[in-house]
Amino acid sequence: MSNNTLEYWQTKAAQTAIPANAWINGKPAPALSGKTRSCINPATGKVLAEVAECQPEDGDLAVNIARDTFNSGVWSNMAPGERKKILVRWAELIEANLEEIAILETLDAGKPISDTTSVDVPSAINTIRWTAEAIDKVYGEIAPTAPGTLALIERLPLGVVLAIVPWNFPLSTTAWKLAPSLAAGNSVILKPDPKTPLTALKLAELATEAGLPDGVLNVLPGDGLPLGQHLSLHPDIDGQTFTGSTAVGKLLMQYSGQSNLKRTFLELGGKSANIVFADADLDKAALWAAVAGFYNCGQTCTAGTRLLVQDSIYDEFLEKVAEYAKGWQPGNPLDPNTSMGAVIDQRQIDTIQKYVGIGEEEGAELLFGGEAVDGLGGELTGCYHQPTLFKGARNDMTIAQEEIFGPVVSAIPFTDADDAIRIANDSKYGLAGGVWSQNINTALKVANGVRTGTMGVNNYFGGDITVPFGGFGESGNGRDKSLHALNDYTELKTTWIEY
């Protein structure tokens, strides 16, 4: 059967085993309390599995195991070239199981199978393989000290690292955290979001199969409260890395201060500006305005949710965006022709709907969309939302300042480059962005002027594993991907020698 049919993926999904236990010390483990939580398929509302719901006592157990494993040196003192071999083997196993992992991510998060097979799983494989390949090529330094002295500067693993990840890109964010933290020699506790634990659990199983020593990677499904908070306050965790909301990121900083000043690196929310000038390739810019707003149902930290359009082309350009938005209608995530899958849950639908209401009350005009979609027929009784665009938005409106995390774009007019930069920077966030112009002076002036972690020039969502990813301001302080990510998982150590 060809893998470009719905039937193929439905058949495979029915045959896919759903992991339901935590992964502690190289083995599957139920929660010590026996507690479980229903893991729901957002496309159908059906229960996929009753997954272990870990509590603080499971956290304490895992931290002790991770600490002992770190201290034993079985991983932390392994030669980088040997760690590389195991991590490369892990990437190969993920590749060999690509379809199964893609199905788990699609069932768990409502993402289209065309995305999980072409983006989420391949990018996780690439992240792990690239970082593994790099780790035995990273050198320390010798400082330029006086004769008779020799100063060695090395990067040492932090120790026990806590990684907390969200539900919107469960697998990608897991790989972004695990690849550099493990490559650097740390032991890790990963807490996935309780809504989307499945691919992290599968990855842990494959890591053990690849030869990762027991206890180096522990995956504990469980809620932010009490488990995430308990781990973040834990005095025996040396560093924490987080992707999620700005509100929870601020809490993690506080937990660090209240406990042991564990190193804290955060990838948080965004309200990114996608800026279109009259001299741009307007068809390409409109196509990407739709992608930037509606990819992953807009549940994307880097989404281009503020669409800044030069006033001379404002109406004409938004009509083009409306045309391209027709390609972004909700569909069955298992159908390979679906571009937009399900929204994660009813709570998120309610949030999106609340913001749509606020946008209308504050005077923006709905150009298209605005409605939740009440199921798609048959067993697809889950959560869906129309792609939505507000015309006549102003940057001081709530819909332009707050992260909605749904397929909702606010189109704001601007006059010239200075005006566009001013509007783009009038945000507490600074995660991503894009500028579209055929004039290199305009494009580079704006790209340079917008204070954001990643800026696309005549593209949106650009980037790969070779470049760092992270935010300015309330979008966070850490950097995932590239060799820069290793900084978040290592301490600098000086050895000063006199001779």
Catalytic residues: 267, 301
Q: Is 215 left (phi over 0), alpha (psi -120 to 50) or beta?
A: left
Q: Are strands 273-276 and 306-310 parallel, antiparallel or unpaired?
A: parallel
Span interacting with ligand NAD, options 13-21, 108-116, 140-148, 224-232, rule CB under 6 A: 224-232
Q: Tell which residue, 8, 195, 203, has the closest CA to residue 95.
A: 203
Segment near ligand NAD (CB under 6 A), from 4-12, 28-36, 58-66, 238-246? 238-246
Question: Per CB under 6 A, which region of 35-43, 76-84, 164-172, 376-384 contacts ligand NAD?
Answer: 164-172
Name every residue whose Cβ is closer than 8 Å to that of residue 405 and which is 6 or more positions away in sequence: 168, 269, 298, 299, 348, 351, 352
Interaction between residue 166 and ligand NAD (CB under 6 A): yes
Site string for ligand NAD, 469-498 (x = CB under 6 A): --x---xx----------------------
> Nearest to residue 32, comparing CAs of 61, 10, 1, 69?
61
By C-alpha distance, which of 239, 240, 242, 306 is closest to 270?
A: 306
The yes or no reply on residue 164 touching ligand NAD (CB under 6 A) is yes
Q: Does 351 bind ligand NAD (CB under 6 A)?
A: no
Least spacing, CB of residue 357 vs ligand NAD, in Å = 20
Judged by CB under 6 A, the chain residues 415 through 454 that form the site for ligand NAD are 431
Spatial contact of 454 and 433, defined as CB atoms under 8 Å apart: yes
Q: Is 234 in the site for ligand NAD (CB under 6 A)?
A: no
Binding region for ligand NAD (CB under 6 A) out of 97-105, 181-189, 267-275, 306-314: 267-275
Query: Applying CB under 6 A, does 225 fall inside the site for ligand NAD?
Result: yes
**175 in helix, strand or coil?**
helix
Alpha-carbon gap, residue 469 to 461, rounded angstroms: 11
Counting residues that bind ligand NAD (by CB under 6 A) gives 31
Structure tokens at 41: 């398929």
Left (φ > 0), alpha (ψ -120 to 50) or beta: where does 369 sit?
Answer: left
Q: Is 26 in the site for ligand NAD (CB under 6 A)?
A: no
Whether 329 and 4 have beta carbons less than 8 Å apart is answered as no
- The binder of ligand NAD chosen from 251, 278, 287, 322 (CB under 6 A): 251
Among 23, 169, 277, 328, binds ligand NAD (CB under 6 A): 169
Give the interface with ligand NAD as residue ranges (CB under 6 A).
164-169, 173, 191, 193, 223-225, 228-229, 232, 243-245, 248, 251, 267-270, 301, 403, 405, 431, 471, 475-476
